[in-house]
Amino acid sequence: MRMLRRLSALVVLALVGGLSAVVLALPATAAALPFTDENVNGYIGFCDQAGQQVTSGSVASIPFIWTAVSSTGAPANMGVKYLGKATLYAYQPRQDVDPGEWSGMQLTAGSAYTNDSFPMAQATTIDPSLNGYLGTYPAVWDGLVELRMIYTAPNHVAYTDSYPATVIKVTGNSWTEVTGGTVKCDAGKSISAETVYLPPSKFKSSAPAAPTAPAGATGSASTTTGPAKSGPSGSTSAGAAGSSGAKPNPGASPTQSGLTAAAKDASKSGSGPVVIAVGLVVVLAVAAGGALWWRRRPS
């Protein structure tokens, strides 16, 4: 009987210990949060320059993170063949305010990516640190910040019906991932429109060489790289190539250059007012010359 009791106690201890190990091994979930964002579909993983996933860092690091990778695929009509782009935003959770009304800021320019299943947003040295965001939108609710990946594509408004998101917690000068999971940092390639359109002199000299662009992702003129300046859901823009209020015109794929097409479109649209103005000047000049001749003509 004593042996049976000892065996029963050992089994119970083993079960409790095993259950505890499983619980500790589970990633953080939304259940640990004081809020629920019903629009979240999947999560975002963060990668450093070496292509390794990280779950914590300094709020002073510039940029906040080098590459953001979604665990879920791009929305319909916003994938690679549709010249879709991914942009990373930070949002400020606030009590008694719907997540759709939270204020936020753009942390990267729009980025072309090569894998529809794992869209990526790339940052550069001219993108802000997390401190840059916190200076405008402090982490007032338990130090929490929600990072979202927002998608855009030509002739489409920014897609905000659902989005992958990860929540981080700011403590002092550091941030730590609260929700999220594992991603493959090498699941594809991504390139920021800033890298494509801006000259190397715009970037800090300590920055590494520009990453390899998806095949054909080249261009010589700039157009907006994300949602308009007001941004989706009340957000504001940050970044040289993502601050314009013009309509987004993302691009780039392994076989086709959407960025080049976007640059050409921007060039055409920008030349229209100039042509009209020149035409009006010519017409007025001709009219003035005709009037002068009429006055001075032989009687």
**For residues 152 and 85, is the Cβ–Cβ distance under 8 A?**
yes
Q: How long a stretch of residues is the chain?
A: 299
State the pLDDT confidence band at 295, using cuts at 50, 70 and 90. low
Strands (E), the chain: 44-47, 53-54, 56-58, 67-70, 85-91, 104-106, 111-113, 120-122, 144-153, 156-159, 165-171, 174-177, 190-192, 235-236
* pLDDT the model gives residue 200: 87
Beta-carbon contacts of 166 under 8 Å, excluding residues fewer than 6 positions away, are 43, 44, 45, 46, 146, 147, 177, 178, 179, 180
Distances (CA, A) of 163 to 89, 111, 114: 11, 16, 18
Beta-carbon contacts of 9 under 8 Å, excluding residues fewer than 6 positions away, are none
How many separate helices (H) and strands (E) can be counted in the chain? Answer: 4, 14
State the pLDDT confidence band at 242, using cuts at 50, 70 and 90. very low
Spans of all domains in the chain: 30-265
**Separation CA 87–CA 225 (nearest Å):** 8
Angle at 100 between CA 96 and CA 106, to 5 degrees: 115
- Does 87 have pLDDT greater than 80? yes
* pLDDT the model gives residue 233: 58
Both structure tokens of 257: 């250059």
* pLDDT the model gives residue 93: 98
Residue 46 identity: F
Q: What is the pLDDT of residues 19-63, one digit of tens each?
A: 444 333 344 444 589 999 999 999 999 999 999 999 999 999 999
Q: What is the pLDDT of residues 149-192, one digit of tens each?
A: 999 999 999 999 999 999 999 999 999 999 999 999 999 999 99
Task: Give the per-residue SS3 of 52-67.
Answer: CEECEEECCCCCCCCE
Q: Given phi > 0 = left and psi -120 to 50 = alpha, else beta, which region is 208?
A: beta
The secondary element (H helix, E strand) that includes residue 288 is helix 258-296
Range of 13-17, 52-56, 290-294 with top mean pLDDT:
52-56
pTM: 0.65
- Lowest average pLDDT, out of 76-80, 90-94, 107-111, goes to 76-80
* pLDDT the model gives residue 151: 97
- Lowest average pLDDT, out of 110-119, 120-129, 226-235, 242-251, goes to 242-251
**Separation CA 248–CA 227 (nearest Å):** 6
Rounded percentage of the chain residues whose pLDDT exceeds 90: 54
Q: What is the pLDDT of residues 64-85, one digit of tens each?
A: 999 999 999 999 899 999 999 9
- Rounded to a whole number, what is the distance in angstroms from the first to the last CA of the chain? 138
Residue 90 identity: A
* pLDDT the model gives residue 285: 56
Q: What is the pLDDT of residues 195-236, one digit of tens each?
A: 999 988 888 754 444 444 444 343 333 333 333 334 565 666
State the pLDDT confidence band at 98, using cuts at 50, 70 and 90. very high
Helix (H, G, I), strand (E, B) or coil at 170: strand
* pLDDT the model gives residue 69: 98
Helix/strand/coil percent split, the chain, to 5: 30, 20, 50
Range of 130-144, 201-215, 284-298 with top mean pLDDT:
130-144
Phi, psi (deg, nearest 5) at residue 24: -65, -30
